[in-house]
Structure formats: structure tokens, C-alpha cells
Chains A and B, each alone.
Chain A
Amino acid sequence: MTGLQVILQVEVLLVIVLGVVLGVIFGALPGVSATMSIVLCISFTYSMDPVVAISFLAAVYCASITGGSITAILFKIPGTPSSAPTTLDGFPMAQRGEAGKALTLALLASGFGGLLSALVMFLLTQPLMQVALKFSSAEQFAVCALGIGILAFVDSDRPLNTFVSALIGIWIATIGQDRLSYVPRFTFGSVKLLDGIESLPFMIGMFAVVEILSNIRNPGDNEAMAKEGVTGKFKVSGLGEFMKTKWTALRSAVLGTVVGIVPGAGATIASFMAYSVESKMNKSPETMGHGNPYGIVASEAANNAATGGAMVPLLSMGIPGSNAAAMMLTALSIHGVQMGPLLLRTQPEYLSATFMSMIFANIAMIFVSIVIAKIFAKVLKVPYYILGSLIFVLALTGCYAFQSNMFDLNVLFIAGAFGYFFKKYGFNISALILGMVLGGDMEYYFRRGLLMYGSVGRFFERPIFTGIVVLFAVIIIYQVYSTIRKKRKSNGAAA
């Protein structure tokens, strides 16, 4: 059965609509990111067919990014970090009575960005898979290292912290039985650790538990903000307003897709970059940040476009392009689906199913979001002690439901407690998770490559490996150069 045939079954369509509804609601809730939305929804997929599971999670992913714009516009609270730029122009528009127009623009831009990136995902993934099939262990090691290295050096604010975080994640991946020699490592005699640290409970701890603990430590006042927000009736405006911003939407969607493909650079970076570009290129730059509709379109088109972009390296090479994609990789490995170049040969229906579900989800979420936007003021009035505790219970139950194993809850607790301080003191949880997800493969391919070629020097006899290393070196040099230039500028300004 092709992906299209699977998606067009009524029950699958209903599952996708459910994913869209849950995604929009979770995405709109402040403090619940797109990654957390997927974390909370993974437990619903345990009994699903893998193709249906990926469709459901893709729908949750797309919709949660969009959901963030609802509270960003109506209450000046970004539901997800990637909707933060949307608050700058969305809330002023809502305040002057244009909430309906702002929401329509946001939702249409989101849908457009998501659809474009889904198309790019579908067109790019297959050729990339064909290239990846030519990869030997050396190239696969280089691609994993590139994925982690890009993340470490793109975070130019604290590259040392990010790099250490990634290394810690890679080390965590070594816990358990060695894949090549079956020797136990860091298990301390525990049978439970022989299979290593399961990534799902660890990620739930690192994302969901850390977020709730952070909110307990520093509570926001969503209820007070909701009272100041725009809750009156608003009318949805037509397509005409969006067509005036079509070139901004196209530019931002392309930018968002490209950024989404880069591992570690997800929807948040995409939306900020697109907003920054629009600020420079807009005909009236002085109005940006004061209710300029182009600001909303730029931010929302880019952040949704990043969802499709993030799926490209995930499907073609098994390298997640974002935290949320890393969660999807984990979720699908539970179902025995191995992402990467062999996917097209062994399970081709996944690629078309993902594509079709993203198309359908991006269309459905426009309509679902409008309905939810009208009632969301009531949801925000629910006190955080109910919402936070509910999210805690969902996370714990979902974690236990994974393997019906109490040990997973222990992992969740340790990850949550450690993760709170890890994040507080400036380390990068995304880098740690990426290191954990890719670390096992990195080691495996590196050691297999050494067995095949005898030495690291012989890796450079392979042109694709050399090309990837050169690309990596260029990125590092550029990042180091721009960091030094920034420091010199700020020293000069201080003097």
C-alpha cells in the first residue's frame, strides 16, 4: 500500500485530525514546546501502526508550531519559542482591533510554509537517500559528526557549553553493551543498564520535567496576562490580505526550510532569522514591531517551513534536524522503523505517508486553529497548578507506558533533576540529546571504518568523506571568525 492509500483511510484521517487538534492545543499552551507536544503524544502511538504513528506525530509537530501563534497574537505570550517574533507585530495588531486579520495571516502563512517545506522534503529526500546509499562507514561517521558539530558551532553564544553538552550526550550513548564487541560499559553490574539508557524516558525527563520544574521555580502569570489579552469576538479575514504578503511568505518559507534541514537549527532559529531578514527588506522597516503584518507572515511561514526541512535529514540519513525530529526518530525506533537511506528500499510507504500527512495536517490546522483560537481564552484561565500537574501526570504515565518498566521512571527522575541544573547553568539540552541520539551510530561507524580501512588517514582517500570534512572545517572557521569579529566590535564599542 502506498502512503497516499494509507492516509486516505477514514480512521487514519481522523487520527491526523486528532494530532492536529492536540498539536494546536499543546502548541498554544505557554510552557509546552513543539518537542514537548510530541513527547506527550508519543505514548498514544504505542498501539498504532508505524505508518499511522508517523502521520500522527507529523501532524502534532506541524500543528504545535502553528498553535504557538494563537497565544502570541491574542495574549502576547508565545505558545512555543518559535512564535516569539510573532508577538512583536501580532499583539499590537490585536490591540488595535485587527486580531482576526493577524490570526488569518499567521495561519495562512503557517500553512503555506508547511506545505512548501513538505514538498521540498518529498523532492529532496529521495535524491539524498540515493547519495547516502553510497556512503560507507567513514562517510556515515562524518555526517553524524557534522550534525553535532554544526549544532555546537552554530550556538555562537556559548559554543564551549554546547560542545561539552554534545560530548556528554555521546558518552551517555556508550552506556550499556558495546555494539561491536558486546562488552558491558558503565553498567556496574546492573542488568537493566545492559541495553543502555533508553532515550524516550531520558528525553521526557529532559524536556517535560525540566520545563515544569523551571515553571515551579519561576512561575509566570498566564492568568494575569490572559486578562490583559484580546478576548473579544474577532472575525477571520480573507485570502486577499495574505496575497499582498506572498513574496515575504515565499522568501521566509524557503529560508525556514533550509534552516530546518540543518541539524540542531530548528523552528525557533528559522523564525528569528526570517523576521530579521524581513526587518531589513520591508518597505516600512520603522513599523516592524509595531503591528506590521509582514512581521507575522515572515515568522510564521519560516517556523512551519522548518518542520518539513527537519524531516529531510531525518528520513534520508537518520539524522534529526531538530529536537522534535529527534523525538520522532525515537518514537519510530520503538516501532522498529530505521530511518535512513535504506528506508526507501525496505519501507518506502513511510516517505509518502509523511509527505501526505504533512500536506493534510497543514491544511487541517488552519481551520482547527481558528476554532481553538476562539475558545482559547477559556483554556488560559485554567490555573497553572492544574495544567502543570496534568502535564506531569501525562509525562509520567507516558514514560511508564513505554515499556511498563519502573526503571524508566527512575531514568526520567534522574534526567529531570540533572537536566534542571544542566539548563540553569548554561548547558544545552538539545546538544546533549542530539549527542545521545547520534553518539551510538558515530562510534559504531568510526570503529567499523577503522576495521575496514585500518587508519583514520585512509578515510581521506574517500572523496565524499573529505568533502564533508572540508564543509565542517569551513563552518567552524566561519563561526570562529564571526565570534572573534563580534568580540572585537564589542571591545571597540566599550572602548
Chain B
Amino acid sequence: MGELLFNALMLLFFLVMGSYTMDIRIEGEHAGARYWPLVMIGLIVILLAVKIWKIWKALPREERRFSIGIFKLNEPGIQKLLLSMAWLLAYIIALPYTGYVLGTILFFAGMAWLIGARKVPVIVLSSIGVTAAVWAVFVWGLDVHPPRGVGILENISIWLEYLI
């Protein structure tokens, strides 16, 4: 059922994109900017429809209904997965404000805990150590300037960047 849902969502997405395709401006060219994406989307929609039909046919009758249970949200593996995605998203959103150093330390610590680390000293030391090592390689070694953050965090980042 999950596979059916995913394919159906993709089909819906491409139907919407197909409708947007008609808004693409063309200026009387033989094969303008609109036609190639229209052909691709048309093929995708047809093939996804065929896929959905095949999946539906292969599903046993008792599984042919939607319920929240298909997402298996009470499974620990699924919970870890969703939390990892949420943590990654939180890191990306917060990065311009926390700056690279604090943001990455927190991200690493959180991700390590999600994956299975439980000893606090190990989490703290490894997150600081890895962040420092990656910082050294990218900022001092490759002259990359990661997000500095705001306020005092920005000042600390600038101080670290020009330490060497």
C-alpha cells in the first residue's frame, strides 16, 4: 500500500507539473521550450498509471484500503528515520543562525544519539572532535567560509577562521 501511495503521489505531482507546462511561453518555434518537458511528463504519467494499475492488481483484497497503520509509525526504525530527517531539516534551517560550529556540534550529537550512541562523554567529545577536524580541513585547508551565525556566534566564527 505504501508503494501504491508513493506512486500515486508522484502521479499527482506530475499531473500538476503537466498543467504548469502549458504556461511555458513559446514563440512559434517548431519545437519550443514547452514540448520536451510536456512529452517527458506525458510519458511519466502514462507509465506511472500503468505501474499503479499493476500494483493495485497485485495487492491482496484485504490490503486494498488506506489506514494510518500502513505508515508503521509505531516501529522504532521508522521513528528513528523520521526523527533523523526532521533533525537534518532542523540543522539546515538553523544553520544561518547558529553558525557552522555550534550547529554542527549539535547536529552531530543529535544524529549520533539517534543512531544509537548513549554515553554522553562519547557523544560530546566526538561531536566536538569531528566538527573541529572538518572545520580545520574545510576552513583552514580549503578556504571555505561556512555560515557564521548571528551575534556573538558570528564573532567567535570570525575569530576561529582567522586563527591560522
Contacts and interface: CB of A to CB of B under 8 A. Distances in A.
A394 interface: yes
A186 B37 contact: yes
A450 B31 CA distance: 8
A450 B30 contact: yes
Contact of B92 (A163, A389, A409): A409
A386 interface: yes
Interface residues of B, number: 63
A25 to B, nearest CB: 14
Interface string A375-390: 0000000011110111
Most chain B CB within a 10 A radius of its CB, from A44, A170, A389? A389
B33 A217 contact: no
A46 B78 CA distance: 37
Interface in B1-25: 2-3, 6-7, 14, 17, 20-21, 24-25
A390 B130 CA distance: 7
A143 to B, nearest CB: 17
Contacts of A183: 24-26, 32-33
A446 interface: yes
A393 B24 CA distance: 39
A393 B6 CA distance: 29
B101 to A, nearest CB: 12
B36 A447 contact: yes
Name B's interface SS.
helix
B88 A416 contact: yes
Interface string B134-156: 10011000111111000000000
Nearest to A443: B36
Interface in A8-58: 43-44, 46-47
Interface residues of A, number: 58
B116 to A, nearest CB: 5
Contacts of B146: 397, 400-401, 404
Given A171-B40, A217-B81, A410-B92, A185 B138 contact: no
A46 B142 contact: yes
Contacts of A164: 44, 47-48, 51
A389 B7 contact: no
A426 interface: yes
Contacts of B107: 392-393, 396
A404 B145 contact: yes
A171 B33 contact: no
Given A171-B37, A216-B81, A413 B115 contact: no
Contact of B30 (A185, A213, A406, A451): A451
B85 interface: yes
B24 A218 contact: no
Given A393-B130, A416-B88, A404 B111 contact: no
A219 interface: yes
A288 to B, nearest CB: 36
A372 interface: no
A216 B80 contact: yes
Interface string A397-422: 10011001010011011001100110
Nearest to A47: B142
Interface string B82-99: 001100110110011000
B17 A385 contact: no
8 closest A-B pairs by beta carbon, nearest first, are A385-B115, A178-B33, A385-B117, A401-B144, A174-B37, A183-B33, A385-B112, A389-B111
Interface of A: 43-44, 46-47, 160-161, 163-164, 167-168, 170-171, 174, 178, 180-181, 183, 185-186, 188, 209, 213, 216-219, 383-386, 388-390, 392-394, 396-397, 400-401, 404, 406, 409-410, 412-413, 416-417, 420-421, 425-426, 443, 446-447, 450-451, 454
16 contacts: A47-B142, A163-B47, A164-B51, A167-B43, A181-B27, A181-B29, A183-B24, A183-B25, A183-B26, A183-B32, A185-B33, A219-B115, A384-B116, A400-B147, A420-B85, A447-B36
